[in-house]
Amino acid sequence: MQAGLMKTGGKIASAGCNLCHLGAPPKLNPYGLQLKPLVDATPEKKLTEAILKQVAEKDADGDGATNAYEFEQDTLPGDATSKPKIIPVVVKSVVSVKTEQPSERNALVKLVLPRHAQHPVLVHFPLALFVIGFLFDLFGSKKRNPAMLEAGYLNLWIATLFSPFTVVTGLLAWHFNYGGISIAALTQNLNLLVHLLMGVSSSLLMFAALRTRGRLRGRETLPSAYLGLALFIFICVVVTGHLGGTLVYPE
């Protein structure tokens, strides 16, 4: 019981009625206000040890020390100006944390349209198909192999078809990951700027190459000018892919 902690001749023992009252009764101080409803709820209308225990861990006067600790340190629990010199810090433990589970609809939206907007998925089509198409054209022209040349043309056609979708999803990924499409994001990230310029340029060059390549369809060999253009696009596509990889997996 807190009364058992009273020091003989101490502040609490000397307080008398002022332990719970403010000045003269019946006006109550904060500690008395905590006790009164509990006392009134008992049949005897008397202060008991059980009531004192109910408010022991409360801080009636708001000075940072619990009522029980003030009794222990012989300071007044109803007077904020009377408080212990050292007040222990109480760390409250987290019993449980309720997390909001995402709805099935939100989970589906995130799956279909994640922050990267499926850009890393689509970029593999023009990247891989153009590279393979260029190799088919290069070796098909050297060996005068019509089947390899036709395979090169088809790969180029499909790669070009996918390139606009890759550019669009790249812009969406930029928007979602860099706080919106802004010049500031480009000026602060050189890799992003070069990746954007080379990605768009590669797509436009693919369309130019496809148009030229269509006119050369059926030939046994391809002219050096076209192969030079294809080699240049090949380098642009590879560098664009490399820069994209550094954005996704920075060193």
Instruction: Report whether pLDDT(112) > 90.
Output: no
pTM of model > 0.85:
no
DSSP H helical segments within the chain, as ranges? 11-15, 30-40, 49-54, 67-73, 104-112, 119-122, 124-143, 146-177, 183-187, 190-215, 224-248
Residue 207: predicted pLDDT: 95
Residue 185: predicted pLDDT: 67
Give tens-digit pLDDT for 16-45. 787 888 776 778 888 888 888 888 888 888
Spatial distance between the Cα atoms of 207 and 126, rounded to a whole number of angstroms = 12
Of the pLDDT bands very low, low, confident and very high (cuts 50, 70, 90), residue 7 is low
Spatial distance between the Cα atoms of 244 and 195, rounded to a whole number of angstroms = 6
Angle between helices 224-248 and 124-143 (to 10 degrees): 150
User: In this predicted model, which residue has the larger pLDDT, 238 or 102?
Assistant: 238
Average pLDDT, the chain: 81
Instruction: Report whether pLDDT(121) > 80.
Output: no
Q: SS in 3 state form for 2-35? A: HHHHCCCCCHHHHHHHHHCECCCCCCECHHHHHH
Average pLDDT over residues 178-201: 78
DSSP structure class, residue 41: T
Segment of 84-88, 172-176, 240-244 carrying the highest mean pLDDT: 240-244
Segment of 32-36, 180-184, 216-220, 246-250 carrying the highest mean pLDDT: 216-220
Q: Cβ(55)–Cβ(38) under 8 Å? A: yes
Q: Cβ(216)–Cβ(149) under 8 Å? A: no
Residue 224: predicted pLDDT: 93
Give tens-digit pLDDT for 57-67. 888 888 888 88
Residue 30: cis peptide before it, omega within 30 degrees of 0: no
Residue 55: predicted pLDDT: 86
Residue 113: predicted pLDDT: 65
Of the pLDDT bands very low, low, confident and very high (cuts 50, 70, 90), residue 175 is confident
In sequence order, the β-bridge partners of residue 28 are: 21
Instruction: Report whether pLDDT(137) > 50.
Output: yes
Residue 147: predicted pLDDT: 94
Q: Cβ(222)–Cβ(137) under 8 Å? A: yes
Domain ranges of the chain: 2-73, 104-248
Spatial distance between the Cα atoms of 138 and 123, rounded to a whole number of angstroms = 23
Give tens-digit pLDDT for 140-153. 999 999 999 999 99
Of the pLDDT bands very low, low, confident and very high (cuts 50, 70, 90), residue 5 is low
What is the amino acid identity at position 4? G
